[in-house]
Amino acid sequence: MVSPLRKQRDAILLRVKRNDATANAAASIEVANQALSASADSLHIKLVEFEQDKLALKEFTQIAQKVNHKREVLIPKYKPMVEAYLEAGEAYQNPIFTDLIVWMFDAEELDTAIDWCIQAIEKGLPTPENFKRPWPEVCADFVLEWAEKTFPTGNSIQPYFNQVLNKIESDWAVNEKLHAKWLKFAGYALLTNEKGQVKPSDVGDLEKLESALAFMTKAHELHNKVGVTTKIKEVQSRINAIQEGKNL
């Protein structure tokens, strides 16, 4: 199997051959060879160092310690290399890039994590070896877990929640159970009062109630064990009451 670096080298050499038909073509190819060789050596060295840094993470016994080390040490160390890789528009498999996406989610640096995840999907890159799920589900799991933790504190879950929800609803294929959990959360968020209770009777905005009902109805259709039937009935009753001018 041809390595990603070899593919990159061959692609660049082909561009050089096509674009330089002069007597200097051979010299240009040699320069490209040397540059690519140096780049390949540099990446291989970085990968060795990266694997050593990953092994060092196992020395931390607590998850919080590992996350803090990623946030404070490893992400700043390797982020410039990933940015250079993305800036160059490359699409070869880069374990540093794909692992850093996960680390960004771990560190809750969601702006970068989601952006890089979308780019990994567009480039057709696989998830890290220890992940058995595709990128859309990895992203959806991380962001939903973050939203479930953040929303009850009163802090905003936007724009990240809607950004990923829109992807799930339009572009990404995720399993029905996970999709339903997202829709349930979206519906419940619209029905949550100031005390953190999911209480449709406290909602007076008809449009908000109808949106919540649509989210939960679709969630139930996707996965009928998602647990929204009671709230659907409560929302329907609340909508009827408002339309009839009762219990306002």
| CB half-sphere exposure, 163, CA atoms < 13 A | 15
Strand partners, 192: 198
10 within domain boundaries: yes
Q: Which pLDDT does position 235 carry in this prediction?
A: 98
Note down pLDDT in tens along the chain; length 248 residues: 445 554 554 554 455 455 555 445 444 445 444 444 445 456 677 889 999 999 999 999 999 999 999 999 999 999 999 999 999 998 888 999 999 999 999 999 999 999 999 999 999 999 998 899 999 999 999 999 999 999 999 999 999 999 999 999 999 999 999 999 999 999 999 999 999 999 999 999 999 999 999 999 999 999 999 999 999 999 999 999 999 887 65
Domain of 17, in residue numbers: 1-44
239 within domain boundaries: no
Average pLDDT of the chain, as a whole number = 87
| pTM recorded for the entire structure | 0.81
Q: Which pLDDT does position 13 carry in this prediction?
A: 46
Could you tell me the CA-to-CA distances from 230 to 1, 86, 199, 216, 225 in Å, in that order?
55, 47, 11, 10, 12
Q: Which pLDDT does position 176 carry in this prediction?
A: 98
18 within domain boundaries: yes
Q: Which pLDDT does position 14 carry in this prediction?
A: 55
Strand partners, 198: 192
119 within domain boundaries: no
4 within domain boundaries: yes
CA separation for the pair 91, 18 (Å, rounded): 21
**pLDDT digits 0-9 by tens, 16-26:** 455 555 445 44
Q: Which pLDDT does position 15 carry in this prediction?
A: 53
24 within domain boundaries: yes
CA separation for the pair 243, 248 (Å, rounded): 10
224 within domain boundaries: no
Q: What's the number of domains the chain is made of? A: 1
Q: Which pLDDT does position 173 carry in this prediction?
A: 93
Token pair of 46, please? 């970085």
179 within domain boundaries: no
According to the 3-state scheme, what is the secondary structure of 207-233? HHHHHHHHHHHHHHHHCCCCCCHHHHH
